[in-house]
Amino acid sequence: MYLRVLTDYFVDPDFFKPTGDGLMLVYVHDEATLQPVASLAVDRAVRLVVDFPSLLEGEPMLNFETPRRLGIGIARGPATKLVSQDRTLDYSGRPLNLAARLMDFARPSGVVLDGQFVAGAIEESVLEGFSQDKIYIKESRSIHRPAGWLNSAWTTIRDEARRPIGVFEWVLEEEKVPLSVLAERGAEFQHGLTRTPAFPDEIAIKITHDSILPNGEQHPTMNTFESFPAQFRRRCWRTRCVL
């Protein structure tokens, strides 16, 4: 697969290396070559993702199922090159880490471009198949992801990626009642909250109780855990509201 990528798609990179479950590619550019190099990277990345499901079809040595989806992250910026006797051993730096993070957002597949990669380097015609979005990687960051003719179903940005990091936290509100009382409440019962949840669609109810032995008695050490979906409602009467 790597040979196909390097001979048919990303030809003549300045540096490349496998990264376990991926491949890192580095293209060196200056002001004069920025636009052609950036446009080439986007064009080849899109073509590779489109062709990837059938990339290894017909290979007689492969008698097992191969991956059908590929995610690619692209960023640019200054990086550090490790050289020994005129041979490049490795690259490191922020754009490499950023590209890896963006690759992780390209799920289930697709191409995710850093907004600062696009700025001043990509013409609008190249971005016709992308839509602008925003995610949080330590701080708010603009990105471009597939949309339109590129099929927006490629890449779905997770909801948690759109939230500031460290601003919200999970809060546990507990109520202790006998299991018999809980059973009397039935499948649908109300439980009052002391605060409004930041993301009402993600609240859940978790019930923990002593495990019951076949004879109906409580188990001396084991507990049973069960989770149920919950629905948030706000009910108000005049000036008083109940969560």
Answer whether 212's CB lies under 8 Å from 218's CB. yes
Mean pLDDT, the chain, as a whole number? Answer: 87
Amino acid at 22: G
Amino acid at 116: Q
Between the two ends of the chain, the Cα-to-Cα distance in Å is 55
Within a domain: residue 111?
yes
Both 158 and 222 in a single domain? no
* Domain count along the chain: 2
**DSSP state letter for 217:** P
CATH (domain of 86)? 3.30.70.1230
Pick from 66, 73, 167, 75: nearest CA to 117: 75
The DSSP-derived string for 88-102 is: EEEEESHHHHHHHHH
Whole domain around residue 210: which residue ranges? 179-242
Both 86 and 204 in a single domain? no
What is the C-alpha separation between 121 and 41, in angstroms, rounded?
11
Both 90 and 156 in a single domain? yes
- What global pTM score does this model have? 0.70
Within a domain: residue 170?
no
pLDDT of residue 137: 87
- Give 130-133 contacts, CB < 8 A, sequence gap 24+: 133/157
Pick from 12, 35, 39, 7: nearest CA to 25: 12
Q: What is the pLDDT of residues 137-169, one digit of tens each?
A: 878 889 988 876 566 567 888 877 888 877 777
Q: How confident is the model at residue 205 (pLDDT cuts 50, 70, 90)?
A: confident
Q: What 3-state DSSP class applies to 18? A: strand
Question: What percentage of the chain's residues is helix, strand, coil (to nearest 5)?
Answer: 25, 30, 45
Q: What percent of the chain has pLDDT over 90?
A: 42
Q: What is the average per-residue pLDDT within 51-80?
A: 92
Both 115 and 49 in a single domain? yes
The DSSP-derived string for 149-161 is: GG-TTSB---GGG
Q: How confident is the model at residue 17 (pLDDT cuts 50, 70, 90)?
A: very high
**SS3 annotation, 105-125:** HCCECEEEEEHHHHCCCCCHH
Q: What is the average per-residue pLDDT within 29-42?
A: 94
Query: Which two structure tokens, joined as six digits, stand for 184?
Result: 């009397």
